[in-house]
Structure 1
Amino acid sequence: MRDSGTTRRALLAATAGSGAALALGGEARAYDPRAGAPPAYGGDARLRRIIAGMTLEEKVGQLFVMRVYGHSATAPDQADIDANLAEIGVRTAAELIARYRVGGIIYFSWAHNTRDPHQIADLSNGIQRASLGLPRGLPVLVSTDQEHGIVARVGKPATLLPGAMALGANGSRTDARTAGSISGAELRALGIRQDYAPVADVNVDPANPVIGVRSFGADPNAVAGLVAAQVTGYQRASVAATAKHFPGHGDTAVDSHYGFPVIDHTRAEWDTIDAPPFRAAIRAGIDSIMTAHIMVPALDPSGDPATLSRPILTGILREELGYDGVVVTDSLGMQGVREKYGDDRVPVLALKAGVDQLLNPPSLDIAWNAVLAAVRQGELTEARLDTSILRVLRLKNRLGLLDRPYVTHAGVDRAVGVAGHLGAADRIAERSTTLVVNERQLLPLSRVTQKRVLVVGADPASPSGTTGPPTSVLAGALTELGFTATALSTGTAPSAAVIARAVAAAGEADAVVVGTYNVGAASSQRALVAQLLATGRPVVCVAVRNPYDVAQLPDVQAYLATYSWTDVELRAAARVIAGRVAPRGRLPVRVLDAGDPTVVLYPVGHGLSY
């Protein structure tokens, strides 16, 4: 099934604009949020004139989106200077831009780009000044992975929202759109104008190690509706949404960061399972689509990853689905795209396949020079580069970057982590929390007869939205709700001694809450839960990541799924445990029997309340 010609014409029309222009390379005006939406930069004719005035080296640079270490564009810490020199051969973001004229920069928390809101805004402004101060300088498209849930690069005090599978359990397209709008407004205020979200993969494999709760669920139509809603929310806030990972990464047991997944769907299965969310994103006017480093033989029998596949990116995405927006690769440092070709060939082959933005190569110098050489030697034409640069400039224009690239501290303070956003996040999380099991109506706990609560369990590495270990956050939230709760971290693989300590502590409690994390058949978390149940104390299990844990815990008395261990979801779980709110979430995925995967324990849509 193809999108209609009307849809394609509408998408093409949306890339054009008219209005005032920025004198590129000169002094850019500061963004004033009170001025309303920025004027459009102009139509394709003006953008083509910009491209015609660029050198070949500048054109090559515009195709790359690169990481860089440091909290400042010009004065990072010494450790970040050392990291930049070792990995990129430059000292700072400003030097990166001057040497390679990159069109985009991606922020990571581990690269120390996202310490606090004002610092992020200053970094964004410093990057724009560095680029616009060059001859023929263009604004930089700053991006990040702010999926929310378990993947968030910008942490508190920004608003952290429920992630995709939590929104799938919520089921409300309105809430998904609101979450996108809130996230978009805050990212925009920070100078981040491209978000690599939403995930459009349909998670049909419970063992999927890389997607899982990053997906909205296992029902293609439900996922499609939520993807479209989030696209609308982000892009109404003037932040480019990015549907990922095309052509669909939801049915694999291999993580493409470390291996080369093969998706064995037939073409008919791809049309039915994987394609609907991407079709919905395109109908919603998605600004960018990210590729997957996966092999799909039914779509391209060559053995190439989709990122390097012309039949997939040009034949299906461009020609069949009618998409003419920006296509960005997943990180070129991932093993899935490096399995078959060297780092010098990957960027060239990606461009030949139909890609527009080359994301985060392991060596920018190798990749940049490879593309440059490919043009000079005739493997790539300059016209091919111009096609991609035009798409990127259209996007920058549509986002207002070409006219107003800067942000202000006042704009940050008006948008980031404000009370209205935080309150909305709490309400959305409450509607996402899913009660899967509630034997003998164990929940809600009584603040009279079950006042003393022991919170034990897994404390995985904290995502950006968590102020502390999940056990401590959950215990603190229950204490605020009138319980006397204490926390005891038992980890993701508790030893016999740790389990014995938890069992002894349970003897002093009226009830026990256990946080579980990715429980497998060999996980010692199973023994922890079993021995706590043997104490006779009421035991409530809270799955703080995958909802599939319950399949490994057949005797559990009460079981909640939160889909992440960020504060907003843990606080919502505490309110459900305390009976302050009723659970309203419904499983967006099937939970299969651990011993017989042909048996469905809990179907899509299962969820209890009280």
Structure 2
Amino acid sequence: MKRRLLTLVVALTVAGYPSAAVAGDPLSRMTLAEKVGQMVVSYVYGESATSVSAADAAANEAMFGAGVTTGAQAVEKYHLGGVIYFTWSRNLTNPPQIAALSNGLQRAAMADTGIPLQISTDQEGGTVNRIGAPLAISPGAMAIGATFDPRTAYDAAKVSGTELRALGITVTHAPVVDVNTNPRNAADGVRAFSDRTAHVATFGVAAERGYRAAGVGTTAKHFPGLGDTTVNTDNGVAVTDETREQILRTHVPPFRAIIAAGAGSIMAAHIVAPSLDPTGVPASLSRPIITGLLREKLGFDGVVVTDALEAAALGDYTDEQVIVGAVRAGVDQLLMPRSVPGAIRILLDAVASGRLSERRIDQSVRRILRTKTGSPYVVEPPVVGTPAAVDTMNRIAARSITTLRSAALPLQDGQDVLVTGWGAGTTTNLATALGATRLYTGSPSDTVIAQAVAAAAEHDVTVVTTSNAWADPTQVELVQALLATGRPIVVVAVGTPYDLASFPAAPTFVAAYGYQPPTIAALAAVLQGRAQAPGRLPVTIDGLYPYGFRAP
């Protein structure tokens, strides 16, 4: 076992492990390698910290080098400051497994440096829920925004944060505080609360406070805002052509509000904003944006973390340009570098050559260590998905459903109902909730559209689901073909409500903003007339309905 670098204050025992708090000045007892390790957040493969399958062992070796077959070994060898969980890295099988993995990784970190590990995931709610049932599943940000009650953002965040903390997850990469000004936004959409700056700021601050009340750290994202882009930076380069004044007036205020509320961490986006930095580098690598705007103008002295460095948006940059550029820009944490050994080596070489100073490294490590408080361990087995937690999420979902047009509603007892359209799981779950026939079409071919039209003719009413139809002409063709039958058609947008602009003649249109179980249950109740639809549009549908609208 490696020496403990830090003075540990034993406070209590959780799950048989001591609680530790950092005392004194830890930096004076850390090597440079241990410092730069704190700046790296990586994924690891496997359900366990110390015992993994052959496939996961091979994946870890490919990621971290020969002989590093487990997450615990990766944490110890590279003195990692953080680990991020994903389903595809096989970290999220079930709550007991997640809690055990978290405790195992924390044991490795404490044995190595005595510094607790940051364990994170993306649990925004809605379409970005890394962990599903039996956790209480939160509606997404736009659904919460549709309640027009910021208390729902607080309540959802507190429930979600409490459950994450029970699993040993110390940070959630949420809330999204982008202002969704572009209806064709491929990065945010329903992940954003609204297209109104004040609305986003109010709900973002409420969510921040809810997570904090649960004892979980947050990452407000994506600075300086991804609301005006049509490209998801995971897939390519996002550029905003908005002026500096537009960005400062529309997209920056939610971050200012979050900072004033005490945000501990902000994620830097890979968006290119020429009006903020004419060199054309992404914000995550831009000193004018990170240091000049975020730190100096907005006064933020918390942790700045990059968006995933594996993202396609950085594909034209070398690892050295990305790693050194981000730190020079003012970033503290490097999330998911393409190579962990490479990132560590680049940082060490940059200090040795004078391209980065150790003093600059110390600035970042001090910020990171300030966020690592309390016991790193959790009680096993964890308690999640309590009736009270599930009820909270159900009540929020029920308040989000928004009816814009209601000609064919409510569905009547005895009607023969067809559910068709986008989403294999969505159509299955909605058909089950309605006691309806189901015909999944996805992005339909002409043949499938013809089948749906024929099926609609055999039913009293058809419910057709859509998701971001503006990006999928075949969904639009399906809805238009169904409307042309003259039969009662109910269009339900389970993505953004902007879909209505693609078929403005639809006489019945409901915005659900998501397709998670609480939302499907609430939607079914509205369609059948068992519940009202109190939600209001948190965005404007140009030429059709204003912000705040709902059918009378």
With structure 2 as the length reference, what TM-score do the two structures score? 0.95
User: Which deviates the most, 68-77 or 527-536?
Assistant: 527-536
Q: 1:446 is aligned with what amino acid?
A: Q
- Paired residues in the alignment total 546
| Mapped contact 2:11–2:19 kept (Cα < 8 A) | no
Q: 2:275 is aligned with what amino acid?
A: A
Determine whether 1:167 maps to 2:158. no
Corresponding residue for 2:529?
579
Corresponding residue for 1:407?
378
- 1:239 deviates by 0.5
Corresponding residue for 2:57?
81
Q: 2:546 is aligned with what amino acid?
A: P
Corresponding residue for 2:122?
145
Distance 1:431 1:47, change over 3 A: farther
Determine whether 1:307 maps to 2:260. no
2:440, 2:486 → 1: CA distance?
21
Distance 1:22 1:566, change over 3 A: farther
1:282, 1:330 → 2: CA distance?
18
Corresponding residue for 1:334?
311
Determine whether 1:456 maps to 2:420. yes
- 1:535 deviates by 3.6
The equivalent position to 2:329 in structure 1, one of 353, 357, 370, is 353
1:56, 1:494 → 2: CA distance?
56
Helix, strand or coil for the counterpart of 2:266? strand
Determine whether 1:606 maps to 2:521. no
The equivalent position to 1:155 in structure 2, one of 121, 132, 151, is 132
Corresponding residue for 1:279?
256
| Mapped contact 1:516–1:525 kept (Cα < 8 A) | yes
Corresponding residue for 1:378?
354
- 1:459 deviates by 1.3
1:318, 1:547 → 2: CA distance?
36
| Mapped contact 1:27–1:133 kept (Cα < 8 A) | no
2:12, 2:154 → 1: CA distance?
31
2:8, 2:76 → 1: CA distance?
13
Per-residue CA deviations over 1:387-412 (Å, capped at 9, x if unaligned) read 11111111002xx1xxx1111125x2
The equivalent position to 2:497 in structure 1, one of 509, 526, 547, is 547
- 1:292 deviates by 0.6
| Mapped contact 1:22–1:28 kept (Cα < 8 A) | no
The equivalent position to 1:530 in structure 2, one of 459, 462, 480, is 480
Corresponding residue for 1:564?
514
User: Which deviates the most, 166-175 or 500-509?
Assistant: 500-509
- 1:312 deviates by 1.2
Corresponding residue for 1:365?
341
Corresponding residue for 1:490?
441
Correspondences of 1:158-237 after superposition (within 5 Å)? 158-237=135-214
| Mapped contact 1:197–1:241 kept (Cα < 8 A) | yes
The equivalent position to 2:96 in structure 1, one of 112, 118, 126, is 118
1:39, 1:58 → 2: CA distance?
21
For structure 2, list consecutive stretches of 5 or more residues without a partner in the other structure: none
Determine whether 1:105 maps to 2:83. yes
- 1:422 deviates by 0.7
Helix, strand or coil for the counterpart of 2:418? strand
1:307, 1:527 → 2: CA distance?
40
| Mapped contact 1:429–1:568 kept (Cα < 8 A) | yes
Corresponding residue for 2:412?
446
| Mapped contact 1:26–1:133 kept (Cα < 8 A) | no
Helix, strand or coil for the counterpart of 1:344? helix
- 1:30 deviates by 4.0
| Mapped contact 1:25–1:132 kept (Cα < 8 A) | no
Determine whether 1:92 maps to 2:70. yes
- 1:39 deviates by 9.0
1:79, 1:265 → 2: CA distance?
46
Corresponding residue for 2:429?
473
Distance 1:94 1:29, change over 3 A: farther
User: Which deviates the most, 380-389 or 76-85?
Assistant: 76-85
Distance 1:272 1:39, change over 3 A: farther
- 1:190 deviates by 0.4
1:423, 1:360 → 2: CA distance?
35
Distance 1:271 1:364, change over 3 A: same
Q: 1:55 is aligned with what amino acid?
A: T
| Mapped contact 1:503–1:531 kept (Cα < 8 A) | yes
| Mapped contact 2:15–2:380 kept (Cα < 8 A) | no
Per-residue CA deviations over 1:547-595 (Å, capped at 9, x if unaligned) read 1111111221211111111111111111110111111111111223xxx
Helix, strand or coil for the counterpart of 1:527? helix
| Mapped contact 2:409–2:508 kept (Cα < 8 A) | yes
Per-residue CA deviations over 1:112-131 (Å, capped at 9, x if unaligned) read 11111111100100101111
Determine whether 1:64 maps to 2:40. yes
With structure 1 as the length reference, what TM-score do the two structures score? 0.86
1:344, 1:366 → 2: CA distance?
9
| Mapped contact 1:61–1:102 kept (Cα < 8 A) | yes
Percent of aligned positions that are identical: 48
1:171, 1:247 → 2: CA distance?
24
Per-residue CA deviations over 1:393-434 (Å, capped at 9, x if unaligned) read 11002xx1xxx1111125x22xx1111111111110111111
| Mapped contact 1:300–1:312 kept (Cα < 8 A) | yes
Corresponding residue for 2:14?
31
2:261, 2:510 → 1: CA distance?
33
Corresponding residue for 1:251?
228
- 1:536 deviates by 3.6
1:27, 1:69 → 2: CA distance?
31
Q: Which runs of 4+ in 1 moved over 6 A?
A: 25-28
Distance 1:140 1:24, change over 3 A: farther
User: Which deviates the most, 201-210 or 76-85?
Assistant: 76-85
Per-residue CA deviations over 1:96-138 (Å, capped at 9, x if unaligned) read 112111000000111111111111100100101111122x332
Q: 2:179 is aligned with what amino acid?
A: V
2:97, 2:19 → 1: CA distance?
27
Corresponding residue for 2:454?
504
